[in-house]
Structure 1
């Protein structure tokens, strides 16, 4: 394989989007070279199992439907990976991560609306390099016994290959979009709860609006915030913030919550606005990412392994 392919081919990860992106891109960008390598193995290998497996893989990647799927998946993963990289930066703030996810959803929805001819044209250019006809072949559908409540003519048999593939890929887009929406709906709601705590909204909103949002937030964090004192602090902060911060007062109009928190501490105003500081600290420390799997190299796994080994040594 190294004779034809200059880059390393990676296995698709079940947990890391960036690893999926790297694996699919490596396969898509080196498809002609991989086909040549498999052809050589098929023709020259003395091991029957290797020849058989190479033949099956070659048949699979020489199928235009496979190339079309790979092309669409590479485009989806590219956008997801771009957002993933931005969200994992050290200086990312919560509102920025929510905006990135909103942009990702809009991008995926726009990709979903692309006509199938767009994807076929893009995949056709790759198929041409691999000497594959850019045509979706109609495969024979096995007949089965129908039940009494089914229609006489199966819907799938009446669809053309392009229509059938379009139906399948729309289901993929819908699933991805719905999963991203489900995972970040909570983040969007949290961001709305704290959205009034930035320079633009503090200066633009009326006192009544600020105090309403402040009271709502205090009810949700009643153990941390005093509703009465918080509303009073918002009233004073709105009127005096540009003056209290001196020369940088003009920047308050465009400041995010983390910047406001920094300025409060730099000017030693945390005792004057304790509840605002607490609210901004909560907002600034909200996690921007979540993980549903534990990586083998994660810090938690290392700690668990250390505790297990220490415990066994004590018992010995």
Structure 2
């Protein structure tokens, strides 16, 4: 990630794709060697690196022999890591969904999608009964598909209930009758409402984590809001879910009988075996980004990075609180205000701290998008494409905003001059 600070326009943050690299040795040592050679080729100094962001692969993120540890051994200042990973959030929710028997069965949602999408006739039948909404296949990583599937049953369960009897005229199978009984039960209806309300809020944070413009300051407020919502919903708002379930049940003419809770002797478990819940996970994420006291944070930054003076940074932050306009609320806005008004000499340490904050790798989602472009570029029609052309096409595709801003005539003239083959006698 590259931070470009200009006096006339303030501060801008740029995140650019550098290319695909061929790798023969996938160990931590092999990947680190390829990475460092490419950094040297691009003229980038590893000594100026202040942050790293990797996925959950052990050869990349391993604390003993991974790329993260080897780069940290070379540059002790590259200690800032990605705070959140959307896939980790999604996978924890998957585990939470499977933690209890009474949880909404996502297998039912997958069976519902399969039975309607197996033929065009059944899919048209579903669209006739459930307009403006559609079913999605269940995925462990693309959690938004689960939210959309639950949304259909949350708001269109009566229509789905009407589509199933119509489907019996097309196919006759015992599985269809079993599926209808599961969906038209009061317990299933209640769990669908509860899960949709929770997943709707969690999905907001998941989308925010995938945004290339998100900052730690904005993300902290959103995570705290979701944490408060989950705690409040678990303690106080379950009665509202029961009320919504009764309204839908009355519309469908379905008896709404809530199961009575049975008192069971709790099973003794080790700490790592305890039941996972969404609120506890969000609490851990909050602690990961929750700031210390101002003085402790300044001292920790000086000790870890050594780029700032803790005492001067503390005084500059205190002065900026009163000097910077109240409308400048985010870190990027404050940094832009400092550069656009030539105040870097007044806030040298604060400007460095803000530059690190706005460029810190909050998530790895941006880097993983390159694989989506790779599937579009590297097809069976381009099976003989070499590495240089693959990276060039990826640059054009991923950096399309930069590509549109280029002067095409100037590029043509430069290409023509470079490929000039006339021989002067």
TM-score bucket of the superposed structures, by smaller chain:
0.5 to 0.7
Q: 2:154 aligns with which of 28, 31, 43?
A: 28
**d(CA) in 2 for partners of 1:178 and 1:242?**
33
1:1-46 Cα offsets, whole Å, 9 max, x none, are: 222111222223322343322221112211111111111222x23x
Deviation at 1:255, TM superposition (A): 4.3
**d(CA) in 1 for partners of 2:205 and 2:246?**
28
Q: 1:16 to 1:173 in 2, by over 3 A?
A: farther
RMSD of aligned C-alpha atoms?
Answer: 3.8
**Structure 2 match to 1:182:** 284
For normalisation by structure 1, the TM-score amounts to 0.65
**d(CA) in 2 for partners of 1:215 and 1:187?**
17
**Structure 2 match to 1:62:** 184
Residues 112 and 173 in structure 1, CA contact (< 8 A), matched pair in contact too:
no
Residues 94 and 287 in structure 1, CA contact (< 8 A), matched pair in contact too:
no
Q: Which runs of 5+ in 2 are unaligned?
A: 1-125, 266-273, 388-425
Tell me if 1:279 matches 2:356: no
Q: 1:264 to 1:8 in 2, by over 3 A?
A: same
Deviation at 1:107, TM superposition (A): 0.9
For normalisation by structure 2, the TM-score amounts to 0.50
Residues 9 and 23 in structure 1, CA contact (< 8 A), matched pair in contact too:
yes
1:240-266 Cα offsets, whole Å, 9 max, x none, are: x589xxxxx461697443332112211
Tell me if 1:3 matches 2:128: yes
Q: 2:196 aligns with which of 69, 74, 81?
A: 74
Deviation at 1:61, TM superposition (A): 0.8
Tell me if 1:266 matches 2:340: yes
Q: 1:255 to 1:106 in 2, by over 3 A?
A: closer
Q: 1:173 to 1:2 in 2, by over 3 A?
A: farther
Deviation at 1:63, TM superposition (A): 1.1
Q: 1:79 to 1:173 in 2, by over 3 A?
A: farther
Residues 150 and 192 in structure 2, CA contact (< 8 A), matched pair in contact too:
yes
**d(CA) in 2 for partners of 1:2 and 1:242?**
56
| Helix, strand or coil at the partner of 2:255 | coil
Residues 38 and 57 in structure 1, CA contact (< 8 A), matched pair in contact too:
no
**Structure 2 match to 1:124:** 246
1:58-111 Cα offsets, whole Å, 9 max, x none, are: 111111111111111111112223444556566543222111111111111111
1:129-182 Cα offsets, whole Å, 9 max, x none, are: 22221013xxxxxxxxxxxxxxxxxxxxxxxx33159x9xxxx99611122223
**Structure 1 match to 2:311:** 231
Q: 1:15 to 1:314 in 2, by over 3 A?
A: closer
**Structure 1 match to 2:303:** 219
Residues 312 and 349 in structure 2, CA contact (< 8 A), matched pair in contact too:
no
**d(CA) in 1 for partners of 2:239 and 2:217?**
37
Q: Which has the higher helix share?
A: 1
Q: 1:118 to 1:29 in 2, by over 3 A?
A: closer
Tell me if 1:162 matches 2:260: yes
